[in-house]
Amino acid sequence: MDSFRILLGFNVETVEYKNIQFTVWDVGGQDKIRPLWRHYFQNTQGIIFVVDSNDRDRIVEAREELQRMLNEDELRDAILLVFANKQDLPNAMNAAEITDKLGLHSLRQRAWYIQSTCATSGDGLYEGLEWLANTLRKAGHQ
């Protein structure tokens, strides 16, 4: 895989990385479409939750949406990768601050990882996918 595409709306793409095939549903984060997220939860083994690290005004909203999603029965076994995006911006919250603000340390029954990223340059994306691929493999998913 040589590149990443930034997808908007409800897009689906199949990506292969480290011999694991990922079917990626980009469901977007706009308020009006969040109620539709649950239609994509069935058979989900991993979640990539992208946070705008520069948006301090909406981090509480991000935490609430993440917690609401993780409380869904169909996602109880899904592992969680958080991309702390926009790390190239000077006032971006670092991964430790986002971990705290999202309450990730309280997720004791779920494998999770946070990766600092910059989607425009690709920084951190492969490292996050590496963790996701290894964790899925350890859990017996292919």
pLDDT at 89: 97
Which has more pLDDT, 10 or 136? 136
Q: Is 115 a catalytic residue?
A: no
Would 1 be classed as within a structural domain? Answer: no
CA-CA distance, 10 to 136, in Å (whole number)?
Answer: 24
Would 3 be classed as within a structural domain? Answer: no
CA-CA distance, 80 to 113, in Å (whole number)?
Answer: 6
Would 2 be classed as within a structural domain? Answer: no
CA-CA distance, 82 to 112, in Å (whole number)?
Answer: 8
pLDDT digits (tens, 9 = 90+) for 68-112: 889 988 888 899 999 999 999 999 999 999 999 999 999 999 999
Would 4 be classed as within a structural domain? Answer: no
Mean pLDDT score across all residues of the chain: 83
Segments forming the whole domain that contains residue 81: 11-139
Would 6 be classed as within a structural domain? Answer: no
Q: Measured in whole angstroms, how far is the alpha carbon of residue 140 from the centre of its chain?
A: 20
Q: Is 86 annotated as a binding residue?
A: yes
pLDDT at 47: 86
CA-CA distance, 134 to 123, in Å (whole number)?
Answer: 19
Task: Tell me the pairing of strands 20-26 and 11-17.
Answer: antiparallel
Which has more pLDDT, 7 or 56? 56
Q: Is 21 annotated as a binding residue?
A: no
Q: Is 101 annotated as a binding residue?
A: no
Give me 140's structure tokens: 């017996």
What's the number of domains the chain is made of? 1
Q: Is 85 annotated as a binding residue?
A: yes
Give the domain CATH number at 41: 3.40.50.300
Question: Of the listed 30, 42, 109, 142, which one is catalytic?
Answer: 30
Would 5 be classed as within a structural domain? Answer: no
Would 130 be classed as within a structural domain? Answer: yes
Would 22 be classed as within a structural domain? Answer: yes
